[in-house]
Structure 1
Amino acid sequence: MSEANLLFENRDGIAWLTLNRPKGMNAINGEIIELYEKYIPEIANNDEIRAVVITGTGAAFCAGADLKEVLASQKLPPGEKDFLDRLCENVFNPLRDFPKPVIAALNGITMAGGLETAMCADIVVAAESAVIGDAHANFGVYPGAGGAALLPRIIPHNVAKYLLFTGETLSAQEMKTYGFVNVVTNDDELQDKTQKLALKIASKSPIALRRMKEVANQALDKSRDAALEHEQVLLRKHMRSYDFTEGLTAFSEKRKPQFIGK
C-alpha cells in the first residue's frame, strides 16, 4: 500500500498534519480531503493534543487543489457536494474556527489552495526558500476558499490585489513584511523551530487560548463595543474555570502552572 497523501503524527501533544504528494506539489486531492475529514474532529476531541501544525513534504507546501479532480467533480449529480464544497465546508471552515491553535509551516511553494490553507492558520512560519502567491488567475480559475475574500483582511489591500491579479509570488520575507508570515527560518530548521513554537503555545491554558481565538476571529466583523462586550462575557466565564484559578495560584506560589483546559 502506498503511503497516505496526508500524514498524521502526534509529537508530544502537537498534531502534525503533513501533505504528502511531493511529486504533485502536494496539490489537494480527494484522499487529502477525506483524511482531513477524519483527522480534524479526532484532533479537536483529543484533550492530549494542544496545537496543530500543517506542513508539506518536498519542494512545495501546497500548490493548490488538484484541478483535474476539481473539473471531474463538476459532473456530480445535483445536490451532491462537489470537491470544492467538501474542501471549504469540511476542511477550511473547521480549521479557521478550530478550538486549538493552528500553525502553518510553509516548507516551499505555497499557492492558490495552499495559500488558502495557510490563511486558515493562526500563525504562519515559513522557510526562507518558500514563495507565496495566489495563482488562480494563471489558470482562469476563481478563488473560492478565501483567496479574494480573506487575503485583503490579512495583508494590505493593494498587495492582496497584486497577488490576485498577477498570479505572481512573493518571498517569505516579503510576506513577513506585509504581515502574512510571522516567522521566517532557515529551511533546515523549519520543523524544529515550528515544534518549539507549538510547544510554547501548548504550555498555555487551552481554554484561555480557545476563548482568545474565538474573540479575535470575530473581532473584525464587529463594532469595537460589540467586540469588547464579547471579550467581557468570555472573561466572566473564564474566571470560573480551573485554569484561571490555577494560573493565579501558581503565580502567587512562584511555580509553573499545570493547566488542564477546564
Structure 2
Amino acid sequence: MSFVSCEVQDRVAVLTIDRPKALNALNPEVLNDLRLAFEGIDQDVVRCVILTGAGDKSFVAGADIASMSTMTKAEGEAFGRLGNDVFLMVENFPLPVIAAVNGFALGGGNELAMSCDIRLASENALFGQPEVGLGITPGFGGTQRLARVVGVGMAKQLVYSATNIKASEALRIGLVNAVYAPDQLMDAARKLAGKIASNAPIAVRNCKRAINEGIELPIAEAVQVEERLFGACFETHDQVEGMSCFLSREKPKPKAVFTNN
C-alpha cells in the first residue's frame, strides 16, 4: 500500500492516510489502499482502530478535485460508489474506529470521519461539505450521515451553504466528541482506544453491531437486535470470566487472542 500505513501497538491499530503533499486527498488509489488496510487488520489481535492523516495540516482535505474534474457522469457515479463502498466498510467494521482529525476534514474527509464510530479533533481541525461550491453534491454519504449525526436542519444549513466550521463549532453541534490541542490529539486517541481495547472484545463488538443495526429501526424491533446480541455474549470466556471475577472481586484474565467463545 502506497498511501495508507498501519502500526499496531498494545492491541490498537493506527492507520494513517499518507499523502501529505495533496493534504491526504482521496482518489481511487487512496480509497483502495484504505480498504486493503482495513482488510489487513488482524482482528484476533487488534481490538480498536485509530484513523488519522499524515502531517499536521490535514486529516483528509476531500476528494481529489484534479481527478474528478474530467469525469463523465458514469465515472462520477462509479467514483461515488467506490467511496461509499469503502466508507460503509469502515462504518460496519467489527472493531470500533476512532477518527483522530488532525486538520482539514472537508468533503470526503468529513464523510470519512463520520463513518468512524468516534471523532476526536485537534483545535486546528476544519469541517465541512463544500461540494455545492464546486457544482456537485456530497458523494460519499455526506447528505445522509451528516443529517443523522447533527440533525436535518443543521445538516441542510452546512451542505446548502458550503460553510466550513471550526472544531469548537463541530463540538457544539455534536459532530465531534472532543477537541484537543494538536500535540495532545494522538495521545488522547490512544488513551481512549486503550480503554476500549481493555474491555471484553465480544461485548464491545456486539455493542457496535447493536447500535449500528438498531439505530434506524423502530424501538420494538431495535430492542430485539439488542436481545439477540446480549444473549450471544453468554457462555463466552469473557462473560464467564468477567462475572465470576466480579463476584469473587478478582481481576479478569482475558484470553490472549480473540475467539467467539
TM-score by length of structure 2 reads 0.91
- Any gaps of 5 or more consecutive residues in structure 1? none
Is contact 1:74-1:82 (8 Å) kept? no
Q: Residue 240 of structure 1: CA displacement? A: 2.2
In the alignment, the residues of structure 2 paired with residue 60 and residue 83 of structure 1 have an alpha-carbon distance, to the nearest angstrom, of 22
Shift of 1:255: 2.9
Q: 1:224 aligns with which of 214, 219, 226?
A: 219
Report whether the alignment pairs 1:142 with 2:140: no
**Counterpart-to-counterpart distance in 2, 1:6 and 1:228:** 38
Name the residue aligned to 2:153: 158
Q: Is the 8 A contact 2:4 2:30 kept in 1?
A: yes
Name the CA shift for 1:70/1:206 in 2 (closer, same or farther; >3 Å). farther
1:59-115 Cα deviation digits (max 9, x unpaired):
0111111123234564889xxx933322221x1111110100000000011110000
Q: Post-superposition shift, 1:51?
A: 0.8
Q: Are positions 1:26 and 2:21 aligned together?
A: no
- Aligned residue pairs: how many? 255
Superposition deviation, residue 41 in structure 1 = 1.5
**Residue 4 to residue 225, structure 1, CA distance change in 2 (3 Å):** same
Indicate which of 236, 242, 247 corresponds to 1:241.
Answer: 236
Task: Find the counterpart in structure 1 of residue 10 from structure 2.
Answer: 12
Q: Which moved more, 1:6-15 or 1:65-74?
A: 65-74
For residues 70 and 48 of structure 2, what CA distance do their matches in structure 1 show? 35
What is the rounded CA distance, in whole Å, between the counterparts of 2:119 and 2:74 in structure 1? Answer: 35
Counterpart in 1 of 2:207?
Answer: 212
Report the counterpart of residue 173 of structure 1 in structure 2.
Answer: 168
**Hey, what does 1:52 align to over in structure 2?**
49
Which deviates more, 111-120 or 143-152?
143-152
Unaligned runs of 5+ in 2: none
Report if aligned partners of 1:70, 1:84 keep a CA contact under 8 Å in 2.
no
Match of 2:78 in 1: 82
Identity %: 35
CA contact (8 A) 2:4 2:37 kept: no
Q: Answer whether contact 1:69 1:83 (CA < 8 A) is retained.
A: no
